[in-house]
């Protein structure tokens, strides 16, 4: 990884060690490096039993009967539960509570939970599952989203087959231009593929009137509310503690094993642990929505956009999850990071008997970006422009308007992202890399790698572009907030928040904020649990803005209390005081006192709930200020392609990303690299394959992921233009890297094929070898 350095800023390279602008070591970094960090799958307890879930083998079937008798006969089986044993609400869900804890009458996807067991060991639990006899009446599954839209299948759910339809019309819906391009694009179902599998342990209270659950999740308080409702408990009787999280990327927003684990523990009055295998994980969490998107772009002869028409269809699978929100993110980004005065968009999110889909990094913007960036390349060709010129000609600026009528009031450095990316150096190695000492080509640098199938003379190099826009935080009138507490005593700041640390590094940023504001060196992070107000979900690129804003506000409130105490002790107006390094100083006098001394004997305790400005729902024409803020990024991909074999080697990805203010540059670079890896995966290899509703590659042998050898060098620069609307000037950085990296890679493959004399639309991702072959 190489980074093009930006000029030093006041909060950048000149920052005090461990404060904003520095890149301190993560507080959990040493334990994770040494292998001593306790992930949720490492948790256990004396007397702990082991839970397991029985899942449907059919995509759509009626449950005729469930016979548990043989399972109960197995020695070591302590509990067997079904839908009849759920004491509270029988269903749960993030937006619509439409998903059963256990299927009771109908199963709607392969993998839907039907029963759960607890036993003395995992093997006994697995034997008990096999012994449960479920009789099914197999039904004809609904697998085509278009049939859901057309009403051509009986409802597979009481809420119907259409989750949401949204229409957007902006400007003149009949506007056209001298140049028109159109296409239909498909995006496959992608798995979040986190390495730390789902796991939890539940501890029942004495008397079984409450429970404490340690779990890897993205949103402790949302889990708490859904679990309590299903258990029939008051919310305060369910205590949530964040277990070590081995990645998330959206898949831990929804409930998976939480309710099952708690039900078993409460039934038995003993701790119960549940942990998924990799195969079960594919069935047990939501995935990225597969989508089909039709687009037509109208432009003047010089390439200036006149209008965008689009139709989005998102396959939500059997249950709603966040499909309605993913749909809105997708269709409101239909124009991309480009100024466009007119547009008509229709979007549909539908049910099928496929695996449920929900949040995944990029959240609707990924699907939209592949379509509109493919269209921009088509438009460039039709207008006789190169890919950079067409994008610069239409680049959105601060104050431009979305098709929803919402002005983009955040800093919108789209032009800077494109130009800075174009300025980054191209790879100087030829196809196949430098010759080895014996004159041979390094086959590991050719498409196909260790397969030794490609000949350097047959390989063609291509360059492609992708630029994107991503909304930040939650939208559509959602009351989005985060809570943080700061205690200051004897020079030590203790922070408490419920912000789920899923690898994004908030535990590092929080300490940097406290050191910067309070002038302390010692920052202690309290346990992440529900013994404080909600921090919202670790998703939507929101935690730096929202929880960072809450920690910032709580620390500032504690600082004001400190200044009041110092002012009283020294007869100084507190307004004259500020923090200089690690000292409190009087700006109008000689007083300089270390914060450690100034806070000696004090116990300052401040809790703040931070809210962002309210958004609004879209009206029937899709108009309204439904989003909070926006971030932008550009990607340039260089790929080597063997057209005859259909093999691709990504040689380099260059990027310039709009980050606002880089609070921790090293952490930002980590997010950029990780996001690009997922974008590359979607471009050329990652897809869940379902045939007749049955997953065919639910393992890491057949579901292909980019490895170290597949990842190219990433050359990056950070566009630092602090956002005046953000608490710290910083925008979220987690999602943008995976959005336009995908179309950039695909555009580069198209370019390579064009140089080989072949035109391929490549209108579907991932691109497969047979999509490329001559």
- In terms of Cβ atoms closer than 10 Å to its own Cβ (0-12, 13-18, 19+), residue 278 is middle
Please state whether the predicted TM-score (pTM) of the whole model is above 0.95.
Answer: yes
Tell me the torsion sign for CA atoms 438, 440, 443, 444: positive
State residue 276's pLDDT score.
98
What is residue 443's predicted lDDT score, i.e. its pLDDT? 87
pLDDT band at 440 (very low <50, low <70, confident <90, very high): confident
Reported as a single tens digit per residue, the pLDDT across 152-182 is 999 999 999 999 999 999 999 999 999 999 9
Mean pLDDT of 402-406: 98
346-350, 369-373, 427-431, 615-619: least confident range = 427-431
Confidence at residue 14, expressed as pLDDT on a 0 to 100 scale: 56
Find the mean pLDDT for residues 13-20: 82
Query: Cα Rg for the chain, rounded, in angstroms?
Result: 27
Instruction: Give the model's confidence band at 5: pLDDT under 50 very low, under 70 low, under 90 confident, else very high.
Output: very low
Structure-token match 């308007």, residue found: 401
Our separate counts of H helices and E strands in the chain read 18, 32
As a whole number, mean pLDDT of residues 767-773 equals 95
Query: Can you tell me the distance from the alpha carbon of 690 to that of 415, in angstroms, rounded to the nearest whole number?
Result: 41
Q: Tell me the per-residue pLDDT of 458-516, one tens digit each, with 9 for 90 and over.
A: 999 999 999 999 999 999 999 999 999 999 999 999 999 999 999 999 999 999 999 99
Find out whether 258 and 228 touch, Cβ atoms under 8 Å. Answer: no
Q: Do strands 583-586 and 577-580 pair parallel, antiparallel, or not at all (unpaired)?
A: antiparallel
* Residue 638 bridge partners (DSSP): 463, 652
Mean pLDDT of the residues in the chain: 96
Q: What is the pLDDT of residues 284-298, one digit of tens each?
A: 999 999 999 999 999
According to DSSP, residue 457 is labeled G
Q: What is the pLDDT of residue 9?
A: 37
State how far the alpha carbon of 478 is from the alpha carbons of 223, 499, 533, 613, in Å. 17, 18, 17, 10
Give the model confidence (pLDDT) of 43-75 as tens digits.
999 999 999 999 999 999 999 999 999 999 999
> What was the pLDDT predicted at 437?
80
CB neighbour burial string for 14-23, b if at least 16 within 10 angstroms, e if fewer: ebeebbbbbb
pLDDT of residue 528: 98
Tell me the pLDDT band of 6, cut-offs 50, 70 and 90.
Answer: very low
**Contact (Cβ atoms closer than 8 angstroms) between residue 446 and residue 460:** no
Q: Does the pLDDT value for residue 12 go beyond 60?
A: no
Q: Are 546 and 610 in contact (CB under 8 A)?
A: yes
* C-alpha 758 chain-centroid distance: 36
pLDDT digits (tens, 9 = 90+) for 76-96: 999 999 999 999 999 999 999
pLDDT tens digits for range 566-614:
999 999 999 999 999 999 999 999 999 999 999 999 999 999 999 999 9
What's the CA dihedral at 329, 330, 334, 336 to 10 degrees?
70
pLDDT attached to residue 10: 36
In the chain, the domains with their CATH numbers are: 10-37+481-611 (3.30.365.10), 40-140+200-273 (3.90.1170.50), 397-471+629-774 (3.30.365.10)
DSSP state of 612: P
Average pLDDT over residues 523-528: 98
């Amino acid at each position: 990884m190489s980074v093009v350095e930006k000029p030093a800023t006041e909060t950048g390279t000149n920052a005090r060690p461990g404060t904003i602008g520095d890149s301190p070591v993560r507080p959990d970094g040493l334990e994770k490096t040494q292998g001593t960090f306790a992930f949720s799958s490492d948790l256990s307890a004396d007397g702990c039993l082991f839970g397991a879930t029985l899942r449907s083998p059919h995509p759509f079937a009626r449950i005729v009967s469930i016979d548990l008798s043989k399972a109960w006969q197995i020695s070591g089986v302590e509990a067997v539960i079904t839908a009849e044993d759920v004491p509270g609400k029988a269903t749960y869900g993030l937006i619509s509570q439409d998903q059963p804890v256990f299927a009771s009458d109908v199963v709607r996807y392969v993998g839907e939970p039907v029963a759960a067991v607890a036993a003395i060991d995992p093997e006994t639990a697995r034997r008990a599952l096999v012994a449960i006899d479920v009789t099914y009446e197999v039904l004809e599954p609904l697998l085509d989203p278009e049939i859901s839209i057309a009403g051509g299948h009986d409802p597979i759910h009481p809420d119907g087959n259409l989750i949401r339809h949204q229409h957007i019309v902006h400007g003149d819906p009949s506007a056209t231009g001298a140049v028109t391009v159109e296409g239909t694009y498909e995006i496959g179902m992608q798995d979040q593929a986190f390495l730390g599998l789902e796991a939890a342990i539940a501890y029942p209270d004495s008397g079984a009137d409450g429970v404490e659950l340690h779990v890897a999740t993205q949103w402790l308080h949302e889990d708490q509310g859904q679990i309590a409702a299903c258990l029939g408990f008051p919310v305060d009787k369910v205590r949530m503690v964040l277990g070590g999280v081995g990645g998330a990327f959206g898949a831990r927003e929804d409930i998976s094993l939480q309710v099952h684990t708690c039900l078993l523990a409460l039934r038995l009055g003993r701790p119960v642990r549940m942990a998924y295998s990799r195969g079960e994980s594919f069935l047990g969490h939501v995935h990225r929505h597969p989508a089909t998107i039709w687009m037509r772009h109208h432009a003047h002869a010089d390439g200036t956009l006149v209008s965008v028409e689009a139709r989005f269809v998102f396959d939500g699978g059997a249950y709603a999850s966040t499909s309605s929100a993913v749909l809105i993110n997708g269709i409101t980004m239909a124009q991309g990071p480009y100024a466009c005065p007119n547009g008509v968009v229709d979007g549909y999110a539908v049910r099928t008997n496929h695996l449920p889909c929900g949040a995944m990094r990029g959240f609707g913007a990924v699907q939209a970006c592949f379509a509109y960036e493919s269209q921009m390349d088509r438009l460039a060709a039709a207008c006789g422009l190169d890919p950079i010129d067409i994008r610069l000609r239409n680049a959105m600026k601060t104050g431009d308007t979305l098709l929803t009528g919402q002005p983009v009031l955040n800093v919108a450095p789209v032009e800077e992202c494109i130009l800075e990316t174009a300025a980054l150096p191209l790879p100087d190695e030829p196809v196949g890399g430098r010759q080895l000492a014996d004159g041979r080509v390094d086959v590991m640098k050719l498409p196909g790698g260790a397969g030794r199938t490609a000949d350097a003379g047959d390989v063609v190099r291509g360059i492609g572009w992708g630029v994107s826009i991503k909304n930040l935080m939650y939208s559509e009138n959602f009351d989005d907030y985060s809570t943080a507490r700061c205690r200051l005593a004897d020079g030590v700041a203790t922070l408490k928040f419920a912000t789920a640390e899923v690898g994004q590094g908030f535990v590092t940023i929080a300490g940097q904020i406290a050191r910067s504001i309070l002038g302390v060196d010692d920052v202690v992070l309290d346990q992440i649990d529900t013994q404080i107000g909600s921090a919202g979900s670790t998703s939507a690129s929101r935690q730096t803005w929202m929880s960072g804003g809450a920690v910032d506000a709580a620390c500032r409130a504690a600082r004001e209390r400190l200044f009041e105490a110092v002012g009283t002790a020294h007869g100084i107006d507190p307004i004259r005081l500020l923090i200089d390094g690690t000292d409190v100083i009087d700006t109008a006098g000689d007083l300089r006192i270390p914060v450690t001394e100034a806070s000696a004997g004090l116990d300052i305790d401040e809790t703040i709930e931070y809210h962002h400005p309210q958004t609004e729902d879209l009206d029937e024409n899709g108009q309204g200020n439904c989003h909070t803020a926006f971030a932008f990024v550009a990607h340039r991909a260089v790929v080597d392609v063997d057209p005859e074999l259909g093999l691709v080697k990504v040689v380099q990805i260059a990027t310039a990303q709009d980050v606002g203010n880089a609070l921790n540059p090293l952490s930002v670079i980590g997010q950029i690299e990780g996001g690009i890896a997922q974008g590359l995966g979607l471009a050329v290899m990652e897809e869940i394959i379902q045939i007749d509703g049955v997953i065919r590659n639910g393992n890491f042998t057949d579901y292909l992921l980019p490895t170290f050898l597949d990842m190219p060098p990433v050359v990056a620069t950070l566009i630092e233009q602090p956002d005046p609307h953000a608490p710290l000037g910083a925008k979220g950085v987690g999602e943008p890297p995976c959005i336009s990296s995908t179309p950039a890679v695909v555009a580069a493959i198209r370019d390579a094929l064009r140089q080989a004399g072949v035109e391929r639309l490549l209108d579907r991702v991932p691109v497969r070898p047979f999509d490329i072959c001559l």
